[in-house]
């Protein structure tokens, strides 16, 4: 057995845990050895949860975990456990919720929780603590001593508090209304609520900090499309989506040189971001920009789709074809240093013509906007700049692109932000779906190839003996997969099947769906637990339905099972999706705008999606499919299945003898075969 009186993180594969491997704190990874150490010593557990791109995690590490005096206190008084929240979202979900219940404050990272030595139940917690009292927060060293004393002297109070906490956990499980009649009232209420929250000047919802909320934008875009045949289409829903995407594309939340989006904006203007770049954010934003490009034909949205996809392929793709997790906000110890500019440097680097356009476009002719430097944010449109400089718009665009290329090349010579090279199954599932939608928008086969390669890599490494795993890092595949891994990957496979049919992908989708039903589904109350039925026993087995930083796993599971159920004619999948909606029906009625992904699932349950299966020679079947892809119709699935493909019986009957034809279905009802592309387009509208 290893020496538990020393830091044990050097044996970890997580880049985040390895960042703390040299701390004088005797960190342990979460596991039976550390938990037994707490039971044997009677010391409470100090649980610290973070992730590699977390700015305040770095700050607290430098201020406290690298400090010998603080570390000595931690080692004397606690068993100290470090957790990467991206590897163990099960633990993060539980203890974030506990922190919010105990403190009545929002959570975040780093999460700092104090747990009983024998039950792992929390009795105190918070997020970032400074080394000395500051901003209304206690100093960390003083806090450590007070918490340890409280644990020694107030066990009776702690046990009563923990009993109350566990009752709250129990009570927070949604009231299942498994006999409820589902209707469209949450759709209407959410639509009205979002209008009241909308920032009509800068887009987005609410004030600072401002997050993108791509699934909320998708909900609004779908609301507009659903109303397009009405006497008064919901044009304001389209406006809310399009304005938000435009302001983000023009703003500092978007990397104006390299493409891709930062985490969120610290202001309402989308100007100054928190500079970390997350794979899941970019996967989701790639998806909504592609959808809106098709819906509106706006070249801006198409450009952002292309640039974001290229950034992902260039900077986030692992050699084996799957995708890494995050880029840090910090470089050289400072947030944003890699991305910001000095005006004098730009004047030396660019020609006068390039600088004239570039400076006006990105506000370099005004005051610096980030710590005496400039972070690029689009201030003026190119037509206006061209007119002022007596240039054609094409010439102004030419100068701008030359300037961007020079700056991007120079930026590449800087010390880059740290890369977390974990491969997370869930986030790759989201990206496979995003790449497929971008490929259909741009008609770009390289994106289809990237989606296929990522899928194949996951199947080869993350799928072992019929079991999915959540993390690949340091040459290891580990951690039995969670709900999000299964649901997001299933959704990605369904998008890939609509982009390039591979029967092996359908078979894997069926296996994932069966795993969801067999290992995660709550047969009595509906919905899906976050962990499988044989997962490590924790203090709570969570089941959540609202969107968080990523879409709700329950919502994506429900929508994917609906779609797969209609494709295969499988009533078990349809029933599980319906009961998942009912499992959260009370909360969906009370707070619909926080459940955008589940609202989309509700919409597809109430108004069954259109299903088009095209059979025939691959080239002509793909031509028919591409023609349909030019129209934004989110409630439609189009599968171009080449002749000779190996198919389940439910699809095999939809065959073609000697020429291309299509079957058009609504839910479980299918019409007669369609023999011409013109007739198919007419039906497909």
Interatomic CA distance for residues 2 and 348, integer angstroms: 57
- Position 653 scores a pLDDT of 80
HEC assignment per residue over 68-128: HHHHHHHHHHCEEEEEECCCCHHHHHHHHHHHHHHHCCCCCCCEEEEECCCCCCEEEEECC
- Position 668 scores a pLDDT of 84
User: How many other C-beta atoms are found inside a 10 Å radius of the C-beta of residue 587?
Assistant: 18
- Position 3 scores a pLDDT of 58
Contacts of 36 (CB under 8 A, 6+ apart): none
By C-alpha distance, which of 59, 55, 79 is closest to 67? Answer: 59
pLDDT tier at 1 (50, 70, 90 boundaries)?
very low
CATH of domain 187-332+420-606: 1.50.10.10
pLDDT tens profile 642-665 = 988 889 888 888 876 678 999 999
- Position 173 scores a pLDDT of 77
- Position 649 scores a pLDDT of 84
How do 467-473 and 423-424 pair as beta strands?
antiparallel
pLDDT tens profile 340-350 = 999 999 999 99
Tokens of 524: 């009595």
Query: Is it the case that residue 363 has pLDDT exceeding 60?
Result: yes
- Position 657 scores a pLDDT of 64
pLDDT tier at 539 (50, 70, 90 boundaries)?
very high
H or E element at residue 650: helix 649-652
340-413 folds as: Arc Repressor Mutant, subunit A (1.10.10)
Interatomic CA distance for residues 365 and 394, integer angstroms: 22
* Residue 338 exposed, middle or buried by CB count within 10 Å (0-12, 13-18, 19+): buried
**231 beta partners:** none
Mean pLDDT of 240-269: 98
- Position 4 scores a pLDDT of 58
Mean pLDDT of 377-396: 96
Per-residue b or e along 386-398, where b marks 16 or more CB atoms closer than 10 Å to that residue's CB: beeeebeeeebee
Mean pLDDT of 60-82: 98
Region of poorest pLDDT, from 222-236, 480-494, 662-676:
662-676
Cβ-contact 215, 284 below 8 angstroms: yes
Mean pLDDT, rounded, of the chain = 95
Distance of CA 677 to the CA centre of its chain: 37
Homologous superfamily (CATH) for 9-172: Glutaredoxin (3.40.30.10)
What is the percentage of the chain residues whose pLDDT exceeds 90?
Answer: 91
Quick one: angle between helices 571-583 and 553-568, nearest 10? 150
Mean pLDDT of 17-24: 97
- Position 451 scores a pLDDT of 98
Query: Is it the case that residue 174 has pLDDT exceeding 80?
Result: no
Domain spans in the chain, listed from the N-terminal domain onward: 9-172, 187-332+420-606, 340-413, 610-684
pLDDT tier at 80 (50, 70, 90 boundaries)?
very high
- Position 652 scores a pLDDT of 83
Interatomic CA distance for residues 590 and 588, integer angstroms: 6
- Position 365 scores a pLDDT of 87
Mean pLDDT of 412-429: 97
Cβ-contact 426, 551 below 8 angstroms: no
């Amino acid at each position: 057995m290893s020496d538990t009186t020393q830091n044990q993180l050097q044996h970890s594969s997580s880049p985040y845990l390895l960042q703390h491997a040299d701390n004088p704190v005797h960190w342990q990874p979460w596991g039976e050895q550390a938990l037994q150490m707490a039971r044997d010593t009677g010391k409470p557990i100090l649980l610290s949860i973070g992730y590699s791109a977390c700015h305040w995690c770095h700050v607290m590490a430098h201020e406290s975990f690298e400090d010998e005096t603080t570390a000595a206190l931690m080692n004397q008084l606690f068993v100290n456990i470090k957790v990467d929240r991206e590897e163990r979202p099960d633990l993060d979900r539980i203890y974030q919720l506990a922190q919010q219940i105990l403190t009545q404050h929002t959570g975040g990272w780093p999460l700092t929780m104090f747990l009983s030595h024998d039950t792992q139940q929390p009795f105190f917690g918070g997020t970032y603590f400074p080394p000395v009292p500051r901003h209304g927060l206690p100093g960390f060293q003083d806090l450590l001593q007070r918490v340890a004393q409280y644990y020694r002297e107030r066990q009776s109070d702690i046990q009563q508090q923990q009993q109350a906490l566990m009752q709250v956990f129990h009570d927070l499980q949604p009231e299942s209304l498994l006999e409820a009649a589902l209707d469209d009232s949450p759709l209407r209420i959410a639509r009205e609520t979002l209008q009241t929250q909308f920032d009509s000047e800068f887009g987005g919802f609410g004030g600072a900090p401002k997050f993108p909320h791509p699934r909320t934008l998708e909900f609004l875009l779908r609301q507009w499309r659903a109303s397009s045949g009405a006497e008064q289409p919901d044009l304001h829903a389209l406006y809310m989506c399009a304005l938000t995407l435009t302001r983000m594309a023009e703003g500092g939340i978007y990397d104006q040189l390299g493409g891709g989006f930062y985490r969120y904006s610290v202001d309402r203007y989308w100007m100054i971001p928190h500079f970390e770049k997350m794979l899941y954010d970019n996967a989701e934003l790639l998806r909504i920009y592609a959808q809106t490009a098709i819906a509106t034909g706006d070249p801006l949205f198409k450009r952002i789709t292309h640039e974001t996809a290229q950034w992902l392929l260039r900077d986030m793709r692992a050699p084996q074809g799957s995708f890494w997790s995050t880029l840090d906000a910090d470089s050289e110890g400072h947030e944003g240093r890699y991305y910001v500019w000095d005006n004098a440097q730009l004047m030396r680097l660019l020609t006068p013509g390039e600088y004239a356009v570039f400076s006006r476009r990105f506000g370099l002719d005004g005051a610096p906007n980030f710590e005496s430097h400039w972070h690029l944010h689009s201030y003026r449109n190119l037509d206006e700049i061209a007119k002022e400089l007596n240039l054609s718009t094409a010439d102004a665009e030419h100068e701008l692109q030359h300037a961007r290329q020079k700056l991007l090349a120079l930026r590449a010579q800087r010390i880059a932000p740290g890369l977390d090279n974990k491969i997370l199954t869930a986030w790759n599932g989201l990206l496979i779906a995003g790449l497929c939608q971008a490929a259909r928008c741009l008609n770009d086969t390289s994106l289809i190839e990237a989606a296929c390669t990522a899928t194949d890599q996951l199947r080869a490494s993350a799928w072992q003996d019929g079991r999915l795993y959540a993390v690949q890092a340091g040459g290891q595949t580990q951690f039995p997969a969670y709900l999000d891994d299964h649901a997001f990957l299933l959704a990605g496979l369904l998008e890939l099947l609509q982009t390039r049919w591979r029967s092996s992908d359908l078979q894997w989708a069926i296996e994932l769906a069966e795993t969801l039903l067999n290992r995660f589904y709550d047969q009595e109350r509906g919905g899906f637990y976050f962990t499988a039925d044989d997962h490590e026993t924790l203090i709570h087995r969570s089941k959540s339905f609202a969107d968080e930083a990523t879409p709700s796993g329950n919502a994506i599971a429900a929508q994917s099972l609906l779609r797969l159920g209609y494709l295969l004619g499988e009533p078990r999948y349809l029933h599980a999706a319906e009961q998942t909606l009912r499992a959260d029906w009370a909360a969906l009625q009370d707070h619909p705008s926080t459940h955008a992904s589940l609202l989309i699932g509700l919409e597809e349950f109430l108004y069954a999606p259109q299903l088009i299966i095209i059979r025939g020679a691959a080239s002509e079947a793909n031509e028919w499919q591409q023609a349909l892809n030019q129209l934004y119709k989110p409630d439609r699935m189009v599968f171009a299945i080449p002749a000779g493909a190996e198919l389940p019986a439910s699809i095999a009957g939809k065959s073609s003898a000697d020429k291309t034809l299509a079957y058009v279905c609504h839910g479980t009802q299918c019409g007669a075969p369609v023999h011409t592309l013109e007739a198919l387009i007419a039906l497909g509208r």
